[in-house]
Structure 1
Amino acid sequence: MMSIKKLFLIIVGSLSLGLGVLGIFLPLLPTTPLLLLSAACYIRSSDRLYQWLITNKRFGAYILNYREGNGIPLKAKVIGVCTLWISMLFTVIFVIPLMVIKILLLLIASYFTWFILKQKTLHKNVVERESY
């Protein structure tokens, strides 16, 4: 029988994975930290789910390269920062009427830009994993 801790970690990992996937399309949700949280939860609760995640053709290489300290591909950084700012500026200019909220959103965008850019960049000379 599965322990409560393992069940809790599987649930949190799965929720984090779902939010991370949504974060690909919604710039306010930080994809990388959520995928890493999923991996951390799965490695402590279910080897099968962890192996599925790190061998996934969409996320696996990305997670392993980040966890091993190789970094994030430059293309992912550029796309992430551009998408973040396009959506934030659109929201601030056309959607949100309150100045306090506009400032808050710009501060959030600035923080995530800093977070993305401070990460090590994965260079071509580092072997990128295709699939397992």
Structure 2
Amino acid sequence: MIKRWLWRALGVSAVGIGAAGTVVPLLPTTPFLLVAAWAFARGSERWRQWLVNHPRFGPAIRSWQTQRAIPRKAKWIGVASVVASLAIAVWMQLPPLALTLQVIALVGVSVFLLTRPDSRY
């Protein structure tokens, strides 16, 4: 019983952060909604169904679950966020090792995003 409440709490938190991402620049929405759907699947099927069928959030979740696809707009926002975060790191004059590790991670994220199929919604 406690585990179900913890899964629900994680899901609600992820929905909240994802919803904030619809208005806060550079805060991703879709990854948090995917986490929420995953958590709700373990904590409440009714809440998972609500999220998957939500008119605003549902299409991206269903697209990922059925096709492993990401909307083209989301891909470009993601890559722009990667570039912006790297620019901030350079501007902050982070140590070379930190920059190198960040570049490796961010290139990996960008390659992942850009190699997923485009969703149709």
- The verdict on a shared fold, with TM-score over 0.5 as the criterion, is yes
Q: Name 2:57's counterpart in structure 1.
A: 59
* Residue segments in structure 2 that go unaligned for 5+ positions in a row: none
Give distance in 1, aligned partners of 2:93 and 2:5.
40
Q: Shift of residue 111 of structure 1? A: 1.6
Normalised TM-score (structure 2): 0.78
Q: Name 2:44's counterpart in structure 1.
A: 46
What letter matches 1:40 in structure 2? W
Give distance in 2, aligned partners of 1:82 and 1:90.
10
Contact 2:86/2:102, CA 8 A, preserved across alignment:
no
Relative distance call for 1:20 and 1:89 in structure 2 (3 A) is same
* Residue segments in structure 1 that go unaligned for 5+ positions in a row: none
Q: Name 1:104's counterpart in structure 2.
A: 101
Matched, 1:15 2:23: no
Normalised TM-score (structure 1): 0.73
Please tell me the root mean square deviation across aligned C-alpha atoms, in Å: 2.5
Picking from 74, 77, 96, the partner of 2:75 is 77
Contact 1:88/1:106, CA 8 A, preserved across alignment:
no
Q: Shift of residue 73 of structure 1? A: 1.6
The total of aligned residue pairs comes to 120
Q: Deviations for 1:58-109, whole angstroms, at most 9, x for unmatched residues?
A: 3111101110116112122122212321x12321321133111111221221
Percent identity over the alignment is 30
